Every structure is written in structure tokens, then in C-alpha cells.
Amino acid sequence: MPVCTLYSLEYKPDPASWFGRIRHAPGAVLLDSGRPVAMRGRYDLLSAWPLDTFEPEPDESGAVFFQRLRQALTLLGHADLPYDCALPFAGGLIGLLAYDFGGRLETLPNRALDDLGLPAARFGLYSWALINDHELKRSHLLFHPSLEDAEQQRLIQLFVGDAGDAGEYDHTPFELQAKFTADLDADSYQHAVERIQRYIREGDCYQVNFAQRFRSPYKGDEWEAYCRVRNACPTPFSGFIAIDDGAIASFSPERFLRLTEGRVETRPIKGTRPRGANLQTDAEQAQALLTSAKDRAENLMIVDLMRNDLGRSCQIGSVQVPELFSLESYPNVHHLVSCVSGTLAEHQDAFDLLAGSFPGGSITGAPKIRAMQIIDELEATNRSIYCGSLLYIDVRGEMDSSIAIRTLLLKDRQISCWGGGGIVADSDWNAEYDESISKVKVLMEALEPVTP
């Protein structure tokens, strides 16, 4: 079996110093664990110059698109890692699924306006990657066996020494040209929440995740915007993907699906409290979340949904809940997080797992299909990248993916972000409105100019 080649580099705990060297390259992508501040993630993964790029055709189903991606991995060719090497990626696909890709997997009406023009999915096929292993404190260039020696040497020279450092690039400093403004006013938000609660009383659903969008014009370098928010809000499932006329900058705390050696894991978040102003109030907020009957009930509802979704692709009887109602804390919020795991069934792969589970239940509601229909009815515009996923799938079939919450779309000189929450029968619309803002407040404040 062909084996990947590794080239060791000086370990750097912050991947920004590496990524700056390829920031302007075609197809530049960074999947970022948020180190050295965020401590839950182990690896950073970055690459550029894809061999090919894949987007869905206008009327192409999700199943047909996934089959094209399978064929791309087959053409690149299976490869193993060197013996006793724990790196997560051996060459393959890195990219995004927009939330709206779910409409290609399920039969859904599409009444919402698409005014952002992001493709429903976009993947590059990469034959090399730079990977930081923060547990072992090592940085490696990984080369798929198909990559020619001359290209390997070019990449080694690019990353060795100080040549090509980010500071050598000319760029326009990032600047918002107005404060973020919401697409919905408070009255419209209240009306939507009350409509969801009528659907719940009528038996259509148990919970619906409802979101609102915030926007601002901007100018300057999108990578600088990413670095500013990263400094304010490091998270273990961050990422930066260069796209036409802009970039995606994600600061997600939430894993969607991980597949490694046949084991599947998802970690849904449901339940949020803002951080307190001091140690005492912060501890009180955390304890209030941990003991909240409402938040625990919502979290359990999504755990049951994800157990069902994983059951579509996992061996019968293998789906378990090894972790329930854990607390995870970030610079602006506390989250209630659970874990659902399983063993992938024979003749199933990462694409089958995605097809049976996307988009994640924590950002739709329950039952999932009806909740998605209500989201489409009540949200004024498509979600685009929000609540989609940044992910990789390598030539061995390994996968890891985020749920793209706390995410910015910078495109055509307009920056957009979204905040939302799960609406249930006893939700208070004022509290939900405030929560939707608190979830993205740290992103907005990191980019808005300081008022004298």
C-alpha cells in the first residue's frame, strides 16, 4: 500500500504563522484548533493549491454530488500514514457544506431568499497538508504519494526559515464601514417565536432552532479579520476558507461528526448562558445552566435525535451516549454539551454518515424535517454557511467536521453573521432575542471600531 511522506518542521503552536505563507494561494484553507489558548483540539490542518475543486451542479442531488466526491478520492488514491503516526489526514477533500445543502438530501420547500450566492458545497482535493500536532508538539508537512518530488521540494522551501512570512504581503487593513445591524427588528423576532410556539402547541414539532442575521459593509483583508476574532474568541473548531470574492471565518465550539477507524462521534451543543462579570457571577451562570431543567430537556431531545441519525449508518446496538450534560466554557458563553458515539456499519462510509445526519440536529430542532420546513418558512433568507459545516474527508475515509456556528461570511465586501437558539413551548422571546445576540457579540465587538 502506498505510504505518505512526512517532512518535520519547527513546531509552532499558532498556525497563523504557517498559514500566512499561503494566505493568497488558490484554495487556501485552514482548519484551526484555536491553540495555544483553546485546549480541546489537538490538530491544525492547512493546505492550498488543490488538484481540483468541486461544487454541486444547479439541479444535482446530494447523493450524486457525494458520489462525485467519492470518485475524486479514488482517483487520488488510497494511502497510509507511516507506521505509528497519528496524524488525522493523508490527503483528500477539505471544504464546506452550506446549511442549504440539506435541501439536496431531503425533499424540502425552498422559500427563503438566497442573497449571498455561496455555493451549497465546495471542496478542494489536496495532495499535501501542513499539520500541527499540539499533543506531541510537532509540525509536519504531509505529502500524498502522488505528489511529485519537485512540488514537495517547493513546499518545503516555502515553509522552511523566514521566507514568505505573512508580514511580507501587502494588504489593506480590515475595517468595518458601519456597525453590524440585524435583519429583523424585535417585533418581527417576537412574531416568529410566537408562530413557532403555535406550531408546537398544534403538535407539528417539539423545538425549532430560529436564527437572525447581522450584516455590515467592510473593506480590507479578510485574514486580518479572522486573526482579530481568533484572538478574542479561540475555539477548537475554527477555520478559514478562501472563496471567490472573500472568505469564510468560523469560530465554532461544536463538533458535528468525527469518523476515525470506524468509530463515529458527535458532540451536540444545546443550552447556553453568558459568562459572568466576575468569578462569583460566572460560577452562578455555569451552575444555573447545569441545573436548568429546560436546558437539560432540550439537550436530551437533540441527543435522541442524533442517536436516531447515527443509527442510520452505524451498526445496530452500537450507538451510545458516553457523555451527557457536560459544561464547556468559552470567552463569551457557557455551553451544555453531550456526546453520542457509534460504530460505522459495513458498506457505509463518511458520505453515507453525512447523508443520514446533515444538517446537525442541534441547529435544526425536532423532528428534524418539520423543523427545517418551519425554519425555511420563518427565516427571511437562506442560512448559507451558518449551521453548515467545515470538514475534511481523507483518502482512508477518515473525517472530522464542525457545525458552523459563530461564523462569518465575508463576501462581495459584505460581512454576515448569525445568532440563534432553540425555541420550545415555554421560551420567552425576549430572552431568546438576547441570547441570539450574546452568541455573536464577541465576534462583532472584535471587529467594530472602538468608540472614543
For 231-261, the pLDDT digits (tens) are 998 999 999 999 989 999 999 999 999 999 9
Residue 353 has phi, psi (to 5 degrees) of -60, -45
Is residue 157 in a domain? Answer: yes
Instruction: Reply yes or no on whether 411 is catalytic.
Output: no
Q: Contact 97/22 with Cβ under 8 angstroms?
A: no
Question: What is the secondary structure of 295-344 as a DSSP string?
Answer: HHHHHHHHHHHHHHHHHTTBPTT--EEEEEEEEEE-SSEEEEEEEEEEEB
Q: What is the pLDDT of residue 167?
A: 43
Average pLDDT, rounded, for the chain: 93
Can you tell me the distance from the alpha carbon of 156 to that of 252, in angstroms, rounded to the nearest whole number? Answer: 31
Q: What is the pLDDT of residue 450?
A: 64
C-alpha cell at position 126: 489536496
164 band by pLDDT with thresholds 50, 70 and 90: very low
Residue 162 has pLDDT above 90, yes or no: no
Which contiguous run of DSSP H or E holds residue 273?
strand 269-274
Q: What one-character DSSP code corresponds to residue 215?
A: E
Is residue 224 in a domain? Answer: yes
Q: What is residue 177's three-state secondary structure?
A: coil
107 band by pLDDT with thresholds 50, 70 and 90: confident
Can you tell me the distance from the alpha carbon of 358 to that of 356, in angstroms, rounded to the nearest whole number? Answer: 6
pLDDT, tens digit, for every residue of 200-218? 999 999 999 999 999 999 9
Mean pLDDT of 12-34: 94
Is residue 452 in a domain? Answer: no
Catalytic residue among 222, 254, 298, 432: 254
Mean pLDDT of 378-392: 95
Q: What is the pLDDT of residue 153?
A: 97
Q: Which residues pair with 249 in a beta bridge?
A: 240, 408
Give Cα 155 distance to the centre of its chain: 27
The number of domains in the chain is: 1
pLDDT, tens digit, for every residue of 329-369? 887 789 999 999 999 999 999 999 999 999 999 999 999 99
pLDDT, tens digit, for every residue of 120-160? 999 999 999 999 999 999 999 999 999 999 999 999 999 99
What lies within 8 Å, CB to CB, of 260 at 6+ separation is 88, 398, 399, 400
Q: Determine the Cα angle at 341 with ends 336 and 346, to 5°.
A: 155
Is residue 312 in a domain? Answer: yes
Q: What is the pLDDT of residue 445?
A: 93
Residue 285 has pLDDT above 60, yes or no: yes
Residue 168 has pLDDT above 80, yes or no: no
Q: What is residue 209's three-state secondary structure?
A: strand
Q: Contact 338/303 with Cβ under 8 angstroms?
A: yes
* Cβ-based burial of 185 (10 A; exposed 0-12, middle 13-18, buried ≥19): exposed
Mean pLDDT of 379-406: 96
Residue 310 has pLDDT above 60, yes or no: yes
Q: Determine the Cα angle at 69 with ends 66 and 71, to 5°.
A: 115
- Structural domain of 339: 5-447
Is residue 169 in a domain? Answer: yes
Q: Pick from 174, 185, 101: which is nearest to 410 by CA? A: 174
Which contiguous run of DSSP H or E holds residue 351?
helix 350-357
Q: What one-character DSSP code corresponds to residue 56?
A: -
- Side-chain-side CA neighbours of 309 within 13 Å: the count stands at 31
Residue 166 has pLDDT above 50, yes or no: no
Give Cα 439 distance to the centre of its chain: 15
What CATH number does the domain containing 423 carry? 3.60.120.10
Mean pLDDT of 271-275: 87
Is residue 93 in a domain? Answer: yes
170 band by pLDDT with thresholds 50, 70 and 90: low
196 band by pLDDT with thresholds 50, 70 and 90: very high
| Residue 65 identity | F
443 band by pLDDT with thresholds 50, 70 and 90: very high
3-state SS, one letter per residue, for 113-147:
ECCCCCCCEEEEEECEEEEEECCCCEEEEEECCCC
Is residue 247 in a domain? Answer: yes
What lies within 8 Å, CB to CB, of 90 at 6+ separation is 4, 79, 80, 81, 142, 144, 394, 395, 396, 398
pLDDT, tens digit, for every residue of 396-423? 999 999 999 999 999 999 999 999 999 9
Instruction: Reply yes or no on whether 270 is catalytic.
Output: yes
Q: What is the pLDDT of residue 358?
A: 97
Catalytic residue among 270, 368, 411, 439: 270
